[in-house]
Chains A and B, each alone.
Chain A
Amino acid sequence: MRKLILPVSILAVILALVVLAPVLPLADERAMDIPHRFAGPSMAHWLGQDEFGRDVLTRLIYGARASLSIAIGSALAAALIGTALGLLGGYFRGIVELFTVRAAEIILCLPPLLLALLVVTIFGAGFWPLILALTLLYTPNYARVVYAATLQVRALDFVTAQRALGTHPLKIVLRTMLPNVLPPLVVQISLVIASAIVIESGLSFLGLGVVPPTPSWGLMIRAARGAMEQAPLLLLWPSVALAGTILTFNLLCDRLQSVLDPRAVPAGGAIWLRRRRTTPIAPRIAPDQVERDHAPADLLSVAGLTISLDRPGGIGSGMELVRGVNLGLRTGETLALVGESGSGKTLTSLAVTGLLPDVLKITAGTAAYRRRDGELRDLIAEDEDGHRQLRGDEISMVFQDASAALNPVHRIGEQLTEVILAHRAIGRAAAKREAVALLGRVGIPDAERRARAYPHELSGGQRQRAMIAIAVANRPKLLLADEPTTALDPTIQAQILALIADLKRESPEMGVVFVTHNLAVVAEIADRVCVMYAGQVVEEGPVAKVFARPRHPYTVALIGSVPEGDAERLVAIPGAIPAPGHMPPGCSFAPRCDHAVAACRKAPPPEFWPEPDRRTRCLRFEEVT
């Protein structure tokens, strides 16, 4: 509400001046003083005198009177009529809608100023024709806005209830609907007043609006143009008054909108586009330390990865969504990341590629990655340019929803060609040929023709195949697949999994991180599995061993929740993942765990290694079955 103070107080001053004009100690707005025409500012005439020697300040204030009364008058008249039409049309729909809202919209077929001129042609210039023209002009705007709001309110439960109770429609419309459509109406009124002032002053400027000697800003500017040589200031005052008033109404409208609709919080742009580092640089780890700590994970080794919400001053800023995640990946290995939504599995994979949303920040951790040329790089410390060189080339991603992840306005072939050209020095024609071959390779029939199709012309399965083709175009060392089959139906799902397995056989070097919540998929595709819960890895090990003998109660529950046959979704485990920022002091799974003992609730359990290739975060891993 504080945002409204500025525009409202300026408008209050303007309105007070306008209303109080007759009682203020002003000169007579029509009193001429020919000998002193074009006199500059003086004590008696603060803003000087015009071409007839009249007091400019007085005429400015009386001009506001004309402009504002016409603008506000017609804005309110149009609001009244338009609201009635919109409410009736929106409430009754059908034939009533045709004769109210749709009928009013016909006016929108005419350019606004033209309609006003047409009315002036018929009725002549003057105060009332202006009101009529502007009312006619703005009625459809209100009708539309109110109609849209009415449709929304109409569908709400309490309106349906009233209708069911047999309340008289007129009573519902006036008592229930009207108050609910008021917010958009108020915004619209301030918008229309500003716009009406523009048209009124424009018509007056043309000599087709307010009739002299009544003062009006448009007329004052018109007169001042003729006297530019003698008194350029005469042009300035009404111009400033006019632009200032319109600016204030526009400001009011903007502020009203942001107050009434707080959802429209301005976004922060995109940090990655700016030539700055996208992530704060964590201290680089010594390569030999990585070798020591994660010797078997020669391709990718993530250690202590922590991701927090970074919204300075915002709600929940500093909350940790991913907490100290360790995971390793060997060359040619497929690692599955499983867990419920919100477990941090997607964030972990995004962090590795530097694609985290701007509101998230990596606050700790390293991700050692061995490049093709053997160089060891910390992906967390990489800036946007460093990531850019790797992404799409050595490290690539397949996203969950291919229909959203492909650009709707570019052809499939083009979207594939550009990733090839971004990383390899080959000609456009060669890249195009390769793109077509790739589309064929991922199982898209008639690849030549399909390359010219737009994403919406392909089926869901084909879109995901195209997405995969983009990911493997440059033979990556590391492929991160984020729920690539979730949005597809089961038959297509199986085909996509088979395709990924196929591609892996072709490039045995490629390491795959497969993010999913589907355990059946894990069993089918992965060598090892990493179970995530509430931003932590709770258990990790070879798929066969983990499934045969889980070492964490959460894994047990996950396996138990898979129904016979192909499960598409996890059946709920009682309770819910604790919200970030509301983590229990001990083990984060303890509130939902049957095995939990007092010790579990006291302190977060460390990692245990029941076998050399397995780990778990459960104090009672021995007892879990």
Chain B
Amino acid sequence: MLRYITYRSLVAVFLVWIVVTLVFLLLHLVPGDPAEVLLSQGSTAADPQAVANLRDRLGLNDPLWLQYAHHIGGILTGDLGTSFRDGAPVAGQIVQRLPRTLEVIVTAALIAVLLGVPAGTLAAIRAGGWIDNVISFLSSLALSTPVFVVGSVVILIFAQELRLVPAGGYVPFAVDPARHILLLLMPAGTVALALWAVVARMSRGSVLDVLERDYVRTARAKGLKRRRILKRHVVRNAMIPVLTVLGLEMGTLIGGTVLVEFVFNWPGLSGYLVSAVDARDYPEVVGIVMVISILFVLLNLVVDIVYAVLDPRISLTR
């Protein structure tokens, strides 16, 4: 087990290095001068003096290897540079906003699992029946409706027409816990909808697959109660691939909550990213992309390890 974790961790470190390098290359090897590209607005050419200043500030006059060394060094020391817009350190902003994004994602994942696993299992048990058809239709619909559409419609119905909830915003938990949770539930619920569909579909397929396995027949041959067979021998085994996919989906979401945070005015990391892209604030964008990508890789690592714990066969086969 320890050997397996070490191995996976090394792979993760390698992947982080690739990501960091990739972002560096993307910004430095694109045709044209990054400074000029960054400063030009549409067809208006950039002011040569400003370009020169920017090149100096970005260290673009240094040789490429030195720039790369600075890039890596900065990440290792947690220094992600300072914002163009207000001169604040990027790392500080990220530390403040990241927990809010993670809060949305984790809540969404919890909701998705709590509702998706039973729905998928039920659909599998009743495969071909009307419950299966209803769940399958709902999940297709949920998968086909982009989050910002769901979010906008939620606001239209619950905030605008019914006046049940505010249209979004953020209140720290310490200030008003009830309101914090209410405000959290809207973006989290919206993200959960799509995630629910993924979990329900995966659960259905996985449960159907496990039901065909010999060990389920053994469980029946033991004379165990239905509930116990379902819980211990079907769902328990079927959850392994489902959790893997959920973990990967959550990784995608770290970057993908952009839209939800925007819709509900939630001051998370993604909202910060959008405003940074909008202002073309280069250090901010690079910093956020870097942090999210590293988290993405780390999350995949955690998924791999959890997978190995859930399925004891894994650690041997690698």
Do A and B truly interact?
yes
Q: Which residues of A contact B (CB under 8 A)?
A: 106-107, 109-114, 117-118, 120-124, 194, 198, 201-202, 205-208, 218, 221, 224-225, 228-229, 232, 235, 239, 242-244, 246-247, 250-251, 266-270, 272-274, 353, 355, 384, 387-393, 396-397, 399, 401, 404-410, 418-419, 422-423, 454, 456-457, 467, 470
Contact B214 A399 (CB under 8 A): yes
Q: Does B316 contact A (CB under 8 A)?
A: yes
Q: Give the distance in Å from the alpha carbon of A106 to the alpha carbon of B149 in the complex.
A: 31
Contact A250 B143 (CB under 8 A): yes
Which chain B residues lie closer than 8 Å to A107 at the CB level? Answer: 22
Contact B155 A273 (CB under 8 A): no
Contact A109 B282 (CB under 8 A): no
Q: Does B196 contact A (CB under 8 A)?
A: no
Contact A267 B277 (CB under 8 A): no
Which listed segment binds A: B47-55, B108-116, B305-313?
A: B305-313
Q: Give the distance in Å from the alpha carbon of A384 to the alpha carbon of B34 in the complex.
A: 71
Beyond A110-B293, A267-B208, A407-B218, whether A202 also contacts B277 by CB under 8 A is no
The 8 closest A-B pairs by CB, nearest first: A111-B255, A392-B223, A269-B127, A247-B144, A392-B222, A114-B255, A391-B223, A404-B214
Tell me the minimal C-beta distance from B113 to chain A in angstroms.
18
Q: Give the distance in Å from the alpha carbon of A247 to the alpha carbon of B282 in the complex.
A: 37
Q: Give the distance in Å from the alpha carbon of A56 to the alpha carbon of B258 in the complex.
A: 27
Q: Does B274 contact A (CB under 8 A)?
A: yes
- By beta carbon, the residue of chain B nearest A208 is B277
Which chain A residues lie closer than 8 Å to B126 at the CB level? Answer: 269, 274
Q: Give the distance in Å from the alpha carbon of A229 to the alpha carbon of B167 in the complex.
A: 12
Which chain A residues lie closer than 8 Å to B140 at the CB level? Answer: 247, 250-251
Contact A266 B128 (CB under 8 A): yes
Contact A246 B144 (CB under 8 A): yes
Tell me the minimal C-beta distance from A360 to chain B in angstroms.
13
Beyond A206-B258, A229-B160, whether A423 also contacts B223 by CB under 8 A is yes
Q: Does B215 contact A (CB under 8 A)?
A: yes
Contact B220 A408 (CB under 8 A): no
Which listed segment binds A: B2-10, B59-67, B171-179, B230-238?
A: B230-238
Among A250, A404, A405, residue most surrounded by chain B Cβ atoms (within 10 Å): A405
Which chain A residues lie closer than 8 Å to B217 at the CB level? Answer: 355, 399, 405
Contact B127 A113 (CB under 8 A): no
Q: Does B106 contact A (CB under 8 A)?
A: no
Q: Give the distance in Å from the alpha carbon of A619 to the alpha carbon of B203 in the complex.
A: 56
Q: Does B184 contact A (CB under 8 A)?
A: no
Tell me the minimal C-beta distance from B306 to chain A in angstroms.
13
Q: Give the distance in Å from the alpha carbon of A207 to the alpha carbon of B262 in the complex.
A: 11
Which chain B residues lie closer than 8 Å to A229 at the CB level? Answer: 160
Contact A118 B285 (CB under 8 A): yes
Contact A221 B149 (CB under 8 A): yes
Q: Does B226 contact A (CB under 8 A)?
A: yes
Contact B221 A225 (CB under 8 A): no
Q: How many residues of B contact A (CB 8 A)?
A: 86
Q: Does B225 contact A (CB under 8 A)?
A: yes
Contact among A122, A454, A467 for B37, CB-based, below 8 A: A122
Q: Give the distance in Å from the alpha carbon of A406 to the alpha carbon of B218 in the complex.
A: 7
Tell me the minimal C-beta distance from A278 to chain B in angstroms.
10
Q: Does B18 contact A (CB under 8 A)?
A: yes
Which chain B residues lie closer than 8 Å to A201 at the CB level? Answer: 146, 148
Which chain B residues lie closer than 8 Å to A205 at the CB level? Answer: 148, 259, 262
Q: Give the distance in Å from the alpha carbon of A390 to the alpha carbon of B316 in the complex.
A: 37
Beyond A118-B289, A121-B277, A392-B224, whether A269 also contacts B255 by CB under 8 A is no
Q: Does B97 contact A (CB under 8 A)?
A: no
Q: Does B278 contact A (CB under 8 A)?
A: yes
Contact among B160, B220, B232, B259 for A410, CB-based, below 8 A: B232
Contact A112 B255 (CB under 8 A): yes
Q: Give the distance in Å from the alpha carbon of A123 to the alpha carbon of B263 in the complex.
A: 25
Which listed segment binds A: B23-31, B70-78, B86-94, B185-193?
A: B23-31
Which chain A residues lie closer than 8 Å to B183 at the CB level? Answer: none
Q: Does B195 contact A (CB under 8 A)?
A: no
Q: Give the distance in Å from the alpha carbon of A355 to the alpha carbon of B141 in the complex.
A: 38
Contact A404 B215 (CB under 8 A): yes
Contact among B225, B230, B292, B310 for A422, CB-based, below 8 A: B225
Contact A221 B152 (CB under 8 A): yes
Which chain B residues lie closer than 8 Å to A111 at the CB level? Answer: 251-256, 292-293, 296
Which chain A residues lie closer than 8 Å to B253 at the CB level? Answer: 111
Contact B262 A405 (CB under 8 A): no
Tell me the minimal C-beta distance from B245 to chain A in angstroms.
15
Contact A242 B149 (CB under 8 A): yes
Q: Does B200 contact A (CB under 8 A)?
A: no
Tell me the minimal C-beta distance from B170 to chain A in angstroms.
18
Tell me the minimal C-beta distance from A448 to chain B in angstroms.
19
Contact among A117, A388, A456 for B277, CB-based, below 8 A: A117
For the complex with contacts A114-B255, A208-B278, A268-B128, 8 further pairs of A-B residues with Cβ separation under 8 Å are: A117-B255, A235-B153, A250-B140, A250-B143, A266-B127, A388-B225, A409-B240, A422-B223
Contact B316 A456 (CB under 8 A): yes
Tell me the minimal C-beta distance from B239 to chain A in angstroms.
10
Contact A118 B221 (CB under 8 A): no
Beyond A228-B155, A235-B152, whether A408 also contacts B215 by CB under 8 A is yes
Q: Give the distance in Å from the alpha carbon of A13 to the alpha carbon of B71 in the complex.
A: 51
Which chain B residues lie closer than 8 Å to A124 at the CB level? Answer: 42, 280
Contact A114 B293 (CB under 8 A): yes
Among B126, B143, B214, B220, residue most surrounded by chain A Cβ atoms (within 10 Å): B220
Which chain B residues lie closer than 8 Å to A113 at the CB level? Answer: 252, 255-256, 258-259
Contact B152 A239 (CB under 8 A): yes
Contact A221 B156 (CB under 8 A): no
